[in-house]
Every structure is written in structure tokens, then in C-alpha cells.
Amino acid sequence: MQIGKTYHQEFQNGDRIYCRIVSQFANGRFKAMKAEGNRKPVQCSVDDHPSIPWRETPDNEIPKKLR
């Protein structure tokens, strides 16, 4: 994962969670802006080895609230 890029996780039901990387902590975790559905983006810590892999999101698919 790279700082400044947007990634997403897609679930079996088609829902997506988007995550824009803001910075990286010394322990290897990432601080990111995360957006789910119509909720406002919030800053959160993101694990770098989740059970569902993060995939890089193409520029045309990034939600407006994370641009």
C-alpha cells in the first residue's frame, strides 16, 4: 500500500469499502480515510494484512468524498 493512493475491499454481496492512505505508523499499520456507502469519511487505522485483500481503486471509481 502506498501513501496517497485509494484502495478498496469488495465483499460477496457487492458492497465496497474505500480507503485512502494518509500515512504509515512505525508499527507498519496505515492511517487512512475510510468510506462505506453513504457515510461520511472518517480517519481510522487500517491493518496491512486484512483477511480480504485491499485492491487499488482506478481513478474513475474513487468516491467523490475521498478525492
**Mean pLDDT in consecutive groups of 10 residues from the start of the chain, 67 residues:** 88 85 87 79 71 86 83
pLDDT of residue 57: 92
Total of domains in the chain: 1
pLDDT of residue 37: 67
CA end-to-end distance (rounded Å), the chain: 17
CA 1/CA 13 separation, integer angstroms: 25
For the whole prediction, is pTM greater than 0.95? no
Range(s) of the domain holding residue 43: 6-57
Question: Is residue 65 situated within a structural domain?
Answer: no
Question: Is residue 19 situated within a structural domain?
Answer: yes
